Amino acid sequence: MLKTLLRYFKPHMGLFILDMSCAVLAAVIELAFPLVSRHVMYTLLPNQAYRAFFSVMLVVGLAYVLRSVCYYIMTYWGHTFGVRVETDIRADLFRHLQTLDFEFYDKVRTGNLMSRLTGDLFEITELAHHGPEDLLISLLTVTGALILMFTIQWRLALVVAILIPIFLILTMLQRRRMSQASANVKIKLADINTDIESSLSGMKTSKAFANEKEDNRRFSSANSEYRTAKKEFYQAMGVFGASQELFMGILPPVVIAVGGYLLMKEKLNYIDLITFTLYVSSFVTPIRKMAQFAEIFASGMAGLRRFCELMALEPTVVEKPGAKELHVTAGTVDIDDISFSYEGHSEVLHHVDLHVKSGEMIAVVGESGGGKTTLCQLIPRFYDVTEGSIRIDGTDIRDVTKNSLRSSVGIVQQEVFIFADTVRENIRYGRPDATDEEVIMAAREAEIYEDIMQMPDGFDTYVGERGTRLSGGQRQRISIARIFLKNPAVLILDEATSALDTVTEERIQHSFDSLMENRTSFVIAHRLSTVRNADRIIVIENGRVMEEGTHAQLLELGGEYAKLYEAQEL
């Protein structure tokens, strides 16, 4: 995991070296002061070299000014380095999440991913910046001070050297406990973020059902679990902090006691005892930094572990090496004896065979749960077939790049996702490089232009979160305008009008007719009256094609389609 983190240091190595150089300089200045003070007390003051004494003190003062500049650089540029590492990691994680398939997003909730993209990465940033800096300052100061103390009086230095490893062992033991507690906090934080995201998204539904108390109960439960996890973390941190303070409190009396004994035995003088005391005082900052590093390391590694877990996930729909671009000319679609199951569980589709000519409109009907949507999600390869193959213009879709395949297939779904942006940018999402004129033309073709012009700011009207300022029909026609702009060779309408009222559906149906003209189309329909003019209608039941034919042929057959149609006509 640390190798993974260090890989993100390379592009910003200049800032990292600057940060570490300032850390070294600050530690050297900290170490130099007691040594300089000892020299002054040994030579300058006894010899009444007052001019030299004040000159040395001026240099010491300037050194501490330089040390403060180093800390400014470490704070500003060090954090800048950390933020750059964080943004690089977040960019990689987001790009990786984009490669994962529908199967992943079927199982993972948005709030959980939000937690990993924000909170976890912040902890990693703190580790990237403060970790090396705090550890370097601590090691240099403590190690350097011990070496200098041994040159002054090895017996007293040995006492200090014995105490420090004891403290470090306690630190390592507590770090492990803190790391586990921190990981639990992150899991609970992800859960509470998920509940918050779900509750805020469903706030209108909550109000409609007057279920605020139930939502508050569910949120309070997750909040309580988070509090418990945080309590465990703080307990571990409290034990660590207490052991640190115990060490910090014991060290000076021990040094003075042993130093006093050596003083009595005339093996140490007052100047060297003062120097030792100054060095012990200089331990305060690095030892606190060691404590801080243990906390940062625990939290950062927990976040890094969760980051690596996500980055280790591989998409289930994988492109073949050397996959070629798909260039659709005719738009024929051949579904050859395909079967499909989610994650190897019971099959959803069983040996479906369908051959669609260029420009043909195929209606896919049947009861809910029969496999209609699953069949159409296999065409743009959101999932891979378990058996059989799907070919477009004779090319197996597993032999082409996913990007070129999905650029050739347009989908209008029942649940339209509208971004919190302007009408213009929501339409332009169909083809991001489209000009304003092309956006306007797509709006006209989708018969939404007049509605847009009546909005407060026309195409620059902000539509609100998930398009809350638009009606259901307007949201649907904006999604149609996106498809007109995309201009795909193969079109899939997945129950695109089932959530609309009859009047709005009739208005939009004309837009769909224009969209499907001279385009190979699959229409998943709940209302059979909308697919009577389809070139062919296939009836799917329990994952199998039960009937196939035109509207008239299937009515004459008197089978499942006829029963469904008659039930809707009543």
What are 29-62's pLDDT values in tens digits? 988 888 888 888 888 888 888 888 899 889 989 9
For residue 100, give the DSSP letter. Answer: S
DSSP-based three-state secondary structure for 459: helix
Q: Tell which residue, 85, 93, 107, has the closest CA to residue 6.
A: 85
pLDDT at 570 over 60: no
Least confident of 253-267, 293-307, 400-414: 293-307
Confidence of residue 277 (pLDDT cuts 50, 70, 90): confident
pLDDT at 17: 93
**Which residues make up the CATH 3.40.50.300 domain(s) of the chain?**
333-569
The answer to whether the CB of 279 falls within 8 A of the CB of 145 is yes
Question: Regarding beta strands 333-341 and 347-356, do their DSSP bridges make them parallel or antiparallel, or are they unpaired?
Answer: antiparallel
Contact 451, 408 (CB under 8 A): no
Q: Give pLDDT, residue 499.
A: 57
Average pLDDT over residues 186-207: 69
Least confident of 73-87, 278-292, 460-474: 278-292
Q: What is the pLDDT of residues 9-32, one digit of tens each?
A: 899 999 999 999 998 998 889 888
Highest mean pLDDT among 250-254, 285-289, 450-454: 450-454
Structure token digits, residue 409: 């297939």
C-alpha 491/C-alpha 271 separation (Å) is: 89
Which pair of structure tokens corresponds to residue 431?
A: 């083809």
- Predicted confidence (pLDDT) per residue in 394-424, tens digit: 999 999 998 899 889 988 877 778 888 899 9
Q: How far apart are CA 403 and CA 339, in angstroms?
A: 24
Top CATH class of 2-311 equals mainly alpha
The fourth-level CATH superfamily of domain 333-569 is: P-loop containing nucleotide triphosphate hydrolases (3.40.50.300)
Question: Across the strands, what pairs with 549?
Answer: 537
pLDDT digits (tens, 9 = 90+) for 486-533: 888 899 988 766 656 666 667 677 777 777 888 899 988 877 877 888
For 438-481, write each residue's pLDDT tens digit: 999 989 888 888 889 998 899 999 888 778 888 877 888 888 88
User: Which residue reads 């033309």 in tokens?
Assistant: 441
pLDDT of 424 reads: 92
pLDDT band (50, 70, 90) for residue 173: confident
Q: How far from 548 is each of 534, 551, 552, 555, 566, CA to CA, in Å? A: 12, 9, 11, 11, 17
pLDDT score, position 529: 75
Provide the 10 A C-beta neighbour count for residue 269.
Answer: 14
* Residue 390 bridge partners (DSSP): 335
Closest CA to 226 of 61, 79, 111: 111
Whether 271 has a pLDDT exceeding 70, the answer reads yes
Q: Does residue 89 carry a pLDDT above 70?
A: yes
Residues 398, 222: Cα–Cα separation, whole Å: 43
In the sheet that 333-341 helps form, which strands lie side by side, from edge to edge?
A: 347-356, 333-341, 387-392, 395-396
